[in-house]
Amino acid sequence: MRYLRGFGRFWFDFIVGDDWRIAAGVVAALGLGALVLRADLLSHALLSVLVAVAMIAVVMVTLLGAGYAGATRPEEHDEGSHMAR
């Protein structure tokens, strides 16, 4: 039973990782893509591009919402916050 629990924890950590919102967004994009494919509303090529764009958008929105974009811009710091050299 311990091995089964460890196996399940591995896959949960592998799929969900650090942010559950990315995993949920990717699952939602794939699910909506499957529904559109089942209803035969769009061509397969266009649908695959739209699903890929949706997954990239989910990741970008999640990262921007978490504040990762501002952490990579050191030039935005004010001059008073620098330590004496």
Cα separation, 4 vs 69, in Å, equals 38
Query: What pLDDT shows up at residue 69?
Result: 56
Query: What pLDDT shows up at residue 20?
Result: 87
CB 22 within 8 A of CB 59: yes
- The pTM of the full predicted model, rounded to 2 decimals, is 0.65
For range 78-83, the mean pLDDT: 54
For range 9-15, the mean pLDDT: 89
